A and B are shown apart, each in its own frame.
Chain A
């Protein structure tokens, strides 16, 4: 089955700096790569996703890049703000099948 590794497990940045979270996956058939944000006391919520026919996708301060050859994808958050502090999960799936999640990154943005 699919295996998703995520790094780092914790990340602290100064407000206004950029944050990068990296994930690798094992199943070359995977073609859907979502990112979820989990705020304290809540369930994870999708913030951005990318499909294998696209190398990069951007939504305001958030961007995701995908390298299918190397089987890795990354989340980039620019101009970080305190409200970006949360746990972030990457995930991978093939088609409409179940999703495999990474182990999570706890991001702390220091004001």
Chain B
């Protein structure tokens, strides 16, 4: 089984709908991240969590919210989806005891119509 899993892998939704993307990890890492990838813009950090009680905004948090339900689970919500949130979303994990090597999930392709 993959160490970092994301569900769903693909999602098409309509403007105004609430969407939740889920991430689970079996690596035992304490840190988790949500990134957005757009062509030519690289990986932009949306939110990150250094432990269950710690949630921090990244570069592009507007329009998004997160929940760290457990050390192994970190979900990303779009409260009211809009077309410019169409992108590829990645969850990642890292271990605070090691330098910042990040382990990425396979990604969720989200399309907002």
Q: Are B96 and A46 in contact (CB under 8 A)?
A: no
Q: Are B99 and A43 in contact (CB under 8 A)?
A: no
Say yes or no for B84: interface residue by CB 8 A criterion: no
Contacts A42-B106, A43-B90, A43-B106 given: A101-B100 contact, CB under 8 Å?
no
Flag the segment in B35-43, B64-72, B74-82 that touches A.
B35-43
Interface residue count on the A side (C-beta < 8 Å)? 24
Q: Which of A34, A89, A93, A101 gathers most chain B CB within 10 Å?
A: A101
Return the chain B residue nearest A97 by Cβ: B100
Return the chain B residue nearest A51 by Cβ: B99
Q: Are A96 and B99 in contact (CB under 8 A)?
A: yes
Contacts A42-B106, A96-B96 given: A103-B101 contact, CB under 8 Å?
no
Q: How close is A53's CB to chain B, nearest CB, in angstroms?
A: 12
Q: Are B42 and A103 in contact (CB under 8 A)?
A: yes
How would residues 34 to 65 of chain A score, 1 for a CB under 8 Å from any chain B CB and 0 otherwise?
10100001111110010100000000000000
Q: Are A89 and B100 in contact (CB under 8 A)?
A: no
Q: Collect the chain A residues with CB atoms within 8 Å of residue B102's CB.
A: 34, 36, 44, 46, 99
Q: Collect the chain B residues with CB atoms within 8 Å of residue A96's CB.
A: 96, 99-100
Q: How close is B110's CB to chain A, nearest CB, in angstroms?
A: 15
Q: Which of B4, B44, B45, B104 gathers most chain A CB within 10 Å?
A: B104
Q: Are B105 and A46 in contact (CB under 8 A)?
A: no
Q: How close is A87's CB to chain B, nearest CB, in angstroms?
A: 9
Q: How close is A49's CB to chain B, nearest CB, in angstroms?
A: 7
Give the distance in Å from the alpha carbon of A44 to the alpha carbon of B4 in the complex: 12
Q: Collect the chain A residues with CB atoms within 8 Å of residue B43's CB.
A: 44, 89, 101, 104
Q: Are B100 and A99 in contact (CB under 8 A)?
A: yes
Q: Are A43 and B100 in contact (CB under 8 A)?
A: no
Q: How close is B74's CB to chain A, nearest CB, in angstroms?
A: 14
Return the chain A residue nearest B6 by Cβ: A43
Give the distance in Å from the alpha carbon of A35 to the alpha carbon of B6 in the complex: 23
Within A88-106, the residues touching B (CB, 8 Å) are 89, 93, 96-104
Q: Are A43 and B92 in contact (CB under 8 A)?
A: yes
Give the top 3 A-B pairs by smallest Cβ distance, nearest first.
A43-B104, A103-B42, A101-B43
